Structure 1
Amino acid sequence: MMGGTRPQSEETDQPGTSGIRFLKGNSLSELVRHEIEAMIVAGHFAPNERINEMSLAAQCGVSRAPVREACRALAAVGLLEYIPNRGLFVRQMDEAELREVDIARGFAFGAVAWSLAENVTPAQLHELRGHILGMDEAVAADDVSAYYPLNVAFHSALCEMCGNRRLAGTYQGFARELHVQRFRGLSAPASLHLSNREHGQIVEAVAARDPQAAFDAARGHVMNGYARILEQRRAMEELQAGESAEDPPP
């Protein structure tokens, strides 16, 4: 209807479809990459889940070529993993690699918070507190699917505000590798409440313009998140082991 607002259909509300059918040119594979990454962030894929290029192409309204190119780019940054003769899978890190990445991510995020504490503005503090209020609503609803994208946005806002693009890029590179693990870690009981309480501690340290306290709060938040990931992973392993034990022998 001309002059009015076009209602969204169920199809365009689905992840991966927004605007893609109407875009052409060199940016298409990059847009598809962002859409697939958004699906991973939103928890639409489980660790070790196989990526079906044909299904993704249908969801995005594109051919397989840009999907294949997008998946290669995501494999290059560690979100997906190619297994010869089997295909592409959502990457599941082992505990040793997970620890290595999270230790590095913790120091990077601590440095981001340190830098911001030295130069933060009232407008930036207002924005950060707004992020926390938004996450509080998801915590109250116990909705990890709503919380996680807001969590990512909060971390990204800190990076953008810190004034050091190289440092922010280093942190984001580590964080991108861990989307699936971080989402699953927040599924553990009470994790959302604990996570957002730690966000508040980071912001208050930044507001106090105390770089060391901001560093400690931000690094501690990442390492607490690492512990939550391990807790949830072990809970899932115990659940799967229990289900296997209950299966009758063939």
Structure 2
Amino acid sequence: MEPQHLRDLYDRQLRREARPDGPGCRVERVGPVVRQTGPAHAWNGVLWSGLDAPGADAAIDEQIAHYRAAGLSFEWKLYGHDGPADLADRLLAAGFTAEDPETLMAAEAAALPQDVPLPEGVELHAVTDEAGVRQVVEVHERAFGTESSHIGRQLLDRLAADPDTVTAVVAVASGEPVSAARLELCPGTDFAGLWGGGTVEAWRGRGLYRALVTHRARIAAARGHRYVQVDAADTSRPILQRLGFLTLSTTTPYTYTP
């Protein structure tokens, strides 16, 4: 499993050939850009671009005009291997704001450890209804300190429209949700995505993140996906490396608000 091979496969299946990730969303290829447009609470943005220096500024302006006309904020998901080399500077000059960079990592799902135990007294609950989604949002807001109602709406949309493409799980201790995570399945591809893994502060350092990663990887493998991928924050990257994940690239969200 070579990182270059995995990165190329990821770029082709999940970026250049991307499919809508929720109801009401559409994916379009406009020249050298692949973008998704949907409701305001959905993820809106540029998934892939094959730009060169002469055409980059015009392509950036075109995406700004598209989302501005729709009244939407959006994200340009920039990867470390995307061109041209100064694309990040061009995005900043056009009015985008850079968020924290993350590390794109992937692993063979079936090769990950199978015996990561949960802390004593903790149970995993599958999320199937609105009450479970509220717990996911609660954990996300407590773990990351951000308003996360849009994540709940996205998850409810997908559970209602196509539950086979998303799985969410909450770790509960004495009736309290203390950790949560999502698995997004991409039918017809080799990949499943690990998203939103977060643990409230009092429960960190007890192995919950590792347990949720391996739990979701088992589901992905059982559903026919060879690899799991994650955009890893600095805090989770060492844990994933110890589990056997490979680094494929970096990814930085550049956001634009009309």
Q: TM-score with structure 2 length normalisation?
A: 0.28
Q: TM-score with structure 1 length normalisation?
A: 0.29
Larger Rg: 1
Highest relative contact order (Cα 8 Å, sep 6+), 1 or 2? Answer: 2
Larger strand proportion of the pair: 2
